């Protein structure tokens, strides 16, 4: 049997989990290469040839001779390839894209900075911690408001926007960032976490354990 056309290079991280979740949800065959960031494998010449910024994830579609990096671009490509998780009509499709871009431009980067300053920066920088706590709480409130009137971020159907957002909130929960007071967001998180494809995706290539 020939190897799958899709090859994913990733590590156990929020951006990586977005893609393993999507692939598991879609049921697409793929080969997984574990890029061990703690061992510097993301700086190896072979990996930099795929992504010059040295960041995971990277998806290669050997059949189409396409190399993709940046998690949102990969999610959009997988949605296009499968015809799933990107909405059925123009309104829903653009809602998916809008909330995916909100995650990529706002929520993900802000949570990443909060994780760094709260969990890893030494000595602690109180001003930076306060800034990113305030900014991430604002994103939680925005998501909560949206989910108060919609079961999923794009509306009535689970989509790539939910997958992307869950990838970072999974890490937020692991490092004990509490968003439980945002009751609609908390309920949405629980619904996503129960999905079998999500449960498989967050264990690939290995479960994250937090700092």
Same domain, residue pair 110 and 78: no
* Model pLDDT for residues 55-99, shown as the tens digit of each residue: 999 999 999 999 999 999 999 999 999 999 999 899 999 999 999
Confidence of residue 209 (pLDDT cuts 50, 70, 90): confident
pLDDT tens sequence across 6-32: 999 999 999 999 999 999 999 999 999
Residue 127 sits in the same domain as residue 152: yes
CA count, 13 A, side-chain hemisphere, 36: 3
Round to whole Å and give the CA distance between 100 and 103.
Answer: 5
Number of H helices, E strands in the chain: 9, 4
Mark which of 54, 84, 114 sits at the end of a domain.
Answer: 84
CA distance 179 to 185: 8
Exposure b/e, 48-84, CB count within 10 A at least 16 = b: eebbeebbbbbbbbeeeeeebbbbbebbbbbbebeeb
Distance CA 86, CA 30 (A): 20
- Do 154 and 119 belong together in one domain? yes
Instruction: Examine the domain organization and report whether 23 and 95 are in the same domain.
Output: no
Q: How many domains does the chain have?
A: 2
In angstroms, rounded to a whole number, what is the distance separating the alpha carbons of residues 40 and 48? 11
Is 31 a domain residue?
yes
Domain co-membership, 180 together with 146: yes
What pLDDT, on the 0 to 100 scale, is given for residue 93?
A: 97
Structure tokens at 165: 């957002």
Q: Which of 63, 84, 105 is the last residue of a domain?
A: 84
Average pLDDT, the chain: 96
Task: Tell me: pLDDT of 211 over 70.
Answer: no
CATH of the domain at 19: 3.40.30.10
Q: In sequence order, what are the residues at sequence separation of 6 or more whose Cβ sits closer than 8 angstroms to the Cβ of residue 150? A: 156
pLDDT at 210: 67
Q: Which helix (H) or strand (E) holds 17?
A: helix 14-26
Indicate if 62 and 100 belong to the same structural domain: no
**pLDDT above 80 for 34:** yes
Question: Residue 60 forms beta bridges with which residues?
Answer: 7, 67
Would 27 be classed as within a structural domain? yes
| Domain identity same for 58 and 113 | no
Assess if residue 209 is contained within a domain: no
**Residue 75: which domain range?**
6-84
The pLDDT value recorded for residue 67 is 98
The predicted structure's pLDDT at residue 208:
86
Instruction: Clarify whether residues 74 and 129 are in a common domain.
Output: no
- Would residue 203 count as lying in a domain? no
pTM of the entire structure?
Answer: 0.96
Q: Name the CA dihedral angle for 53, 57, 60, 64, rounded to a multiple of 10 degrees.
A: -90
């Amino acid at each position: 049997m020939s190897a799958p056309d899709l090859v994913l290079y990733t590590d156990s991280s929020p951006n990586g989990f977005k893609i393993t979740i999507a692939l598991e949800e879609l049921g697409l065959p793929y080969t997984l290469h574990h890029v061990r960031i703690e061992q510097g494998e993301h700086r190896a010449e072979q990996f930099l040839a795929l992504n010059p910024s040295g960041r995971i994830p990277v998806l290669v579609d050997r059949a189409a001779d396409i190399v993709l990096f940046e998690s949102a671009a990969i999610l959009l490509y997988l949605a296009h390839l499968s015809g799933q998780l990107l909405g059925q009509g123009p309104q829903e499709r653009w809602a998916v894209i809008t909330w995916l871009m909100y995650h990529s431009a706002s929520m993900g980067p802000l949570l990443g900075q909060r994780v760094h300053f709260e969990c890893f920066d030494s000595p602690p920088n109180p001003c930076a911690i306060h800034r990113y706590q305030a900014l991430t709480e604002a994103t939680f409130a925005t998501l909560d408001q949206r989910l108060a009137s919609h079961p999923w971020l794009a509306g009535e159907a689970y989509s790539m926007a939910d997958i992307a957002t869950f990838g970072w909130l999974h890490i937020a929960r692991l490092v004990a960032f509490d968003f439980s007071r945002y009751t609609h967001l908390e309920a949405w998180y629980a619904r996503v976490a129960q999905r079998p494809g999500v449960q498989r995706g967050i264990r690939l290539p290995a479960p994250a354990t937090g700092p």
